[in-house]
Structure 1
Amino acid sequence: MTSSGAFAPKLGIDLQGGTRVTLVPRGEPDEESMQQATDIIRERVNGLGVSGAEVVLDGSNIVLTVPGEDATAARDLGETSKLTIRPVVQVVPMADPFNFEPTPDTAGDQAAAEKAIEDARAERQGDDQAALQQKLNTWNCPETDLLAGVDNPDQYLLACGDGQKYLLAPQPKVDGAPEGPAGYLDGEKIQRDSVSAGFDQQRGQIQVAFRFNGGPVNASMTWSQLTQEYLNQQVAILMDNEVISAPVIQGVTPPGSQTSITGLDDMDTAQSLASNLRFGALPVSFEEPNVDNVPASLGQASLEAGLLAGAVGLLLILGYSLLYYRVIGLLAFLSLVFAIVLTYGVLVLLGNWIGYTLDLAGVAGVIIGIGMTADSFVVYFERIKDELREGHKFRSAVPRGWKNASRTIVTGNMVSVIGAVVLYVLAIGEVRGFAFTLGLTTIMDILVAFTIMWPLVYLASTKPVFSKNSMNGLGAMEDLRVKAAAEHRSEASRRNTAASEQAATTAGSTPSSQSKGDDA
């Protein structure tokens, strides 16, 4: 699920392509069960950090699409993941660990699928322990376990795991639990927040640790009693009827204590198992999934064209900045480039840490966020111009302008962050990718404005060469102010001269008027 570059973000399905896994349920589950299964798989996707994945209910099937060509993670997400516990009656090694009983092909035939499940139950389950013990040696493990999640908990069971064949006793019932499927000691009684995957330093093994619930339905007490009853005997822990661990109980587990599953292949397997336990078992089981490759809807050529367009846009911003703000505009452009590099680095790290994938909607969010970063620079520089109009020198106008601009920058960006958070919480799919990158680049905008742009411009204002009006477009306001003041003084002088001439003319004409009056 990675892009081809060594230091590049992981790309989404629309840019990289991906894998589509179609899960076809066994039997005829109702609509509520299928919707619940869809929600659980979606939670598993989020819990594993499989970013960019799509989970939809398509008729009676669940379609899961993940970036990349590796379908292993998608297959694991579709596992029923029903954890059960059964005491071990007998265990024998498989004669040939690579020889499995073929599974009947029942795809598209509902009646045949149901008959295959009933045949498997009749062959592998029953109340007669002796009869199943005789069958254990000659029975072959199935290629696909048709009883996964649908076995009878009150009967003995033949199961397999790690090259061994097991005869298992019925599932223990939990004291205080209601009758029916909810009354047995299984994964539904696990404390969800107690599940964790890690490495046991003492045993030197990868493990998944968890605790059973207490309270009125005290599964923790039932597990403690089970470890006491089967002390020095094996108890099997099964996942979808496959024995994943069958430890010998070496001591009584006190109620509320931690239980662990060991013997897992690798940490990825442990994390997948922990995620499935944390979000619960699926209410339905599925046939062997159908896997298809999904081609990229945009492809590498479209991605390169988008990057070229972005580069052209940056060059236009550089030209405009130099033309309008001169050298100070160059500092703003350098800050903008730093914001882009910082955002890119964060996206790469998120891809490595949590599997975040960048899709087309996410690219749009980055572009808009970078545009808002350029807006912050303009806001600051225009505030400096305001200070210059009021008569301040360039050096004093820079910090005074920042004092006013910083509040505007923070307020405007916080509105965008709040909008991005609300959109991310309420939306689904690609819209969430847009909201995430928009919020991320907006936060980068605030960070760069305070730590890069403002210090650079302030440092430039302390250097005489940058304070020259010919070196920055901001200082030109000072020339305009001086020119305007000179023009104002010239206009005032002209008006005073004109007024004086008018007064002299009026004074010269007054005696003549009076003499004419006397003659009359």
Structure 2
Amino acid sequence: MTSWQEGRAPEAELPVKNVRRRRILSMLMMIALGWGGLAAVVATGTTPKLGLDLAGGTSVILRAPAGTSADQIDQAVNVMRKRIEALGNVQEPVIQKAGANNIVVQLPGVTDRERALEAIGSTGQLSFRPVINNGAFGPVGEPIDASDDDPTEPAILGNIDPLDGPLEVGAAFALGGDITDATAVFNGFEWAVSLDFTSEGDDKFAAATRTAASFPMGDPRRQFAIVLDGTVISAPQVAADVDPNTGISGGAQITIGQPDDPEQEARDLEIVLKFGALPVVLEQEQIKSVSATLGRDSLNAGLVAGFGGLALVALAMVFYYRVLGLVTVVGLSIFGSLVVGSYSVLGASQGLT
């Protein structure tokens, strides 16, 4: 080798060393990102969101009346989606149209089935009605079926509290559409839902309470009924200090009474009122519950089969390809770690399964 060649050889080897170093650094970074990310996901308990078939939950098919328009179905889907999201304990609910008049609702991981079904199926039609008779002027009569109630017509309605009898009420002077916001509050004595009206709704409420305040205390006509889906949920009496010339303005409160969990009742009513009424009455055509135990068994069986298959493939690759097979197995494990980590992060941040 000439002196010139001896002087050039180290410079020729330098790029090769740099390429090798970059490759090693890239491999270490991928290993750290894949295995380190998987370790972080496991350590923090961030797992992929599971669907109805694996997490268990409830599936329900709701049917709208014949003649319901596509726009009304779309509006019902949007209202139900907002209500379910407000519940906060359902993993990635699926609410979608099926056919012309059906809506399919899947609620994975739901813990309180009855509460969820009430949130999606309750029409949420709120009305404020003047009370005509509570029994003080003679028998009220038998209440109509709640589903037959028309807020624009007088009616005899049942009471949510069976200890309170039915009420004879007049046509509604305000509806749920006159409300701008609803908030569950504890007023120092009991749970209630505070209502804010539109300017037009506030005028209607003030006019109705002016009329009610003109009757003496104890007269049923001094009451007004708050009706939800054809059932009286509260019938407060206008206070004695209300001026018949001004009435009540600036909002109202619906008192919850004494159910088993008044706070939960208040928050559920807040959700129904805040996001508006369903445009149509939906009938529950089919309800199916998927056991969380069944879903967990299916998941465990799938994991055992998957890991068993991967182990056999890895052994076969190492047996036939030796070192190259081992490198391939390491690469597959890094890729799998990246996939599991990505799904876990997306499930926690975006609700993707």
TM-score normalised over the length of structure 2: 0.63
Structure 1 pair 189–242 and aligned structure 2 pair: CA distance change class (3 A): same
- Once the 2 structures are TM-superposed, how far is the Cα of residue 16 of structure 1 from its aligned partner? 2.7
Structure 1 pair 140–89 and aligned structure 2 pair: CA distance change class (3 A): closer
Q: Percent identity?
A: 28
Q: Which of these residues, 29, 38, 48, is aligned with residue 68 of structure 2? A: 29
DSSP 3-state at the match of 2:172: coil
Higher strand share: 2
- Once the 2 structures are TM-superposed, how far is the Cα of residue 286 of structure 1 from its aligned partner? 2.1
Structure 1 pair 365–43 and aligned structure 2 pair: CA distance change class (3 A): farther
Match of 2:232 in 1: 243
Matched, 1:270 2:243: no
Match of 1:72 in 2: 114
Match of 2:77 in 1: 38
- Once the 2 structures are TM-superposed, how far is the Cα of residue 209 of structure 1 from its aligned partner? 1.1
Give matches, 1:67-466, under 5 Å: 67=108, 68=110, 70-76=112-118, 77-92=120-135, 136-137=140-141, 139=142, 142=145, 145-148=146-149, 151-153=150-152, 155-161=153-159, 162-163=161-162, 164-172=165-173, 185-192=174-181, 195-201=182-188, 203=189, 205-214=190-199, 218-231=200-213, 232=217, 233-250=222-239, 251-252=241-242, 254-263=248-257, 265=259, 266=261, 267-288=263-284, 290-294=286-290, 299-304=295-300, 367-369=340-342, 424=350, 432-434=351-353
CA deviation profile, 1:455-512 (whole Å, cap 9, x unmatched): xxxxxxxxxxxxxxxxxxxxxxxxxxxxxxxxxxxxxxxxxxxxxxxxxxxxxxxxxx
Query: 1:24 & 1:242 partners in 2: Cα distance?
Result: 22
Query: Which residue identity does 2:250 align to in structure 1?
Result: G
Matched, 1:56 2:96: yes
Query: 1:41 & 1:197 partners in 2: Cα distance?
Result: 19
Give matches, 1:433-512, under 5 Å: 433-434=352-353
Query: 2:343 & 2:46 partners in 1: Cα distance?
Result: 19
- Once the 2 structures are TM-superposed, how far is the Cα of residue 167 of structure 1 from its aligned partner? 0.5
Match of 1:99 in 2: none
User: Is contact 2:62–2:104 with CA below 8 Å preserved after alignment?
Assistant: yes
Query: Which residue identity does 2:186 align to in structure 1?
Result: F
User: Is contact 2:147–2:229 with CA below 8 Å preserved after alignment?
Assistant: no
Task: Determine which structure has greater relative contact order: mean sequence separation of CA pairs < 8 Å that are 6+ residues apart, divided by chain length.
Answer: 2
Larger radius of gyration: 1
- Once the 2 structures are TM-superposed, how far is the Cα of residue 64 of structure 1 from its aligned partner? 1.6
Structure 1 pair 35–244 and aligned structure 2 pair: CA distance change class (3 A): same
Match of 1:16 in 2: 55
Structure 1 pair 277–140 and aligned structure 2 pair: CA distance change class (3 A): closer
Query: 2:343 & 2:272 partners in 1: Cα distance?
Result: 38
Query: Which residue identity does 2:121 align to in structure 1?
Result: G
User: Is contact 2:53–2:290 with CA below 8 Å preserved after alignment?
Assistant: no
User: Is contact 1:198–1:207 with CA below 8 Å preserved after alignment?
Assistant: yes
Query: Which residue identity does 2:193 align to in structure 1?
Result: V
Query: 2:97 & 2:273 partners in 1: Cα distance?
Result: 22
User: Is contact 1:21–1:71 with CA below 8 Å preserved after alignment?
Assistant: no
Structure 1 pair 242–27 and aligned structure 2 pair: CA distance change class (3 A): farther
Structure 1 pair 71–88 and aligned structure 2 pair: CA distance change class (3 A): same
User: Is contact 1:207–1:264 with CA below 8 Å preserved after alignment?
Assistant: no
User: Is contact 2:63–2:103 with CA below 8 Å preserved after alignment?
Assistant: yes
Query: 1:210 & 1:79 partners in 2: Cα distance?
Result: 19
Query: 1:258 & 1:221 partners in 2: Cα distance?
Result: 12
Query: 1:38 & 1:370 partners in 2: Cα distance?
Result: 27
Query: 2:255 & 2:337 partners in 1: Cα distance?
Result: 44
Query: 1:42 & 1:366 partners in 2: Cα distance?
Result: 29
- Once the 2 structures are TM-superposed, how far is the Cα of residue 62 of structure 1 from its aligned partner? 1.5
Query: 1:51 & 1:245 partners in 2: Cα distance?
Result: 34
- Once the 2 structures are TM-superposed, how far is the Cα of residue 213 of structure 1 from its aligned partner? 1.2
Q: CA RMSD in A?
A: 3.8
Please, which runs of 5 or more residues in structure 2 have no aligned partner?
1-44, 311-335
